[in-house]
Amino acid sequence: MEDIIFFLVRYLHVLCGVMWIGILWYFNFVQIPSMSKIPAEQKPAISKVIAPEALFWFRWGAAGTVLFGLILAHMSGYDREALTLQQPEIGFGMWLGLIMAFNVWFVIWPAQKIALGMVEADAEAKPKAGRRAMLFSRANTLMSIPMLFSMLSAQHLAGY
């Protein structure tokens, strides 16, 4: 039974991670670069329908990834060693993931709510908030590469 629970926690960690990083990469490799090509009359479909829905799954994917990742690390017995970087091969990835999740919830999401008009703000605050969200999203995209490498190599290159 313990093996099944361990498998389910790992599966949920990976599932949430695919959702989170997949949407992060969608934003940075598809949506943001494509916005200048979309006619002005069609942009509200992105900002009023697609982006809010994507941001919902983006932030909850981040939360689920962190939650199930911390549970997995605890069940595996390396949570303390990894978080204190006594096991840097996985701890580095864990810290990058935690920083990225912090950015999602406390920088990107609040800025996107302003940029998308989901909260009241003056007109000049919207582009500033949009730029802030985009810059932190780009930073998360860059951090996702070594984070993924750390997570995978810690599990699959052990002993090399």
Average pLDDT rounded to a whole number, residues 52-62: 97
Per-residue confidence (pLDDT) for residue 159, from 0 to 100:
60
Per-residue confidence (pLDDT) for residue 36, from 0 to 100:
93
Mean pLDDT, the chain, whole residue set: 95
Per-residue confidence (pLDDT) for residue 155, from 0 to 100:
81
Per-residue confidence (pLDDT) for residue 158, from 0 to 100:
67
- Tokens (6 digits) for 63: 């939360």
The winner for highest mean pLDDT among 30-44, 91-105, 144-158 is 91-105
Average pLDDT rounded to a whole number, residues 20-35: 96
CA dist., res. 82 & res. 147, Å (int): 13
Model pLDDT for residues 122-142, shown as the tens digit of each residue: 999 999 999 999 999 999 999
Give the pTM.
Answer: 0.93
Asked if residues 69 and 41 have their Cβ atoms less than 8 Å apart, the reply is no
Per-residue confidence (pLDDT) for residue 133, from 0 to 100:
97
Per-residue confidence (pLDDT) for residue 49, from 0 to 100:
94
CB proximity list for 151: less than 8 A, separation 6 or greater: 90, 93, 97
- In degrees, rounded to 5, the angle at the alpha carbon of residue 131 between the alpha carbons of residues 125 and 58 is 105
Model pLDDT for residues 84-124, shown as the tens digit of each residue: 999 999 999 999 999 999 999 999 999 999 999 999 999 99
DSSP 34-92: HGGGS-GGGHHHIIIIIHHHHHHHHHHHHHHHHHHHHHHHHHHT-HHHHHTTSSHHHHH
3-class DSSP assignment, residue 158: coil
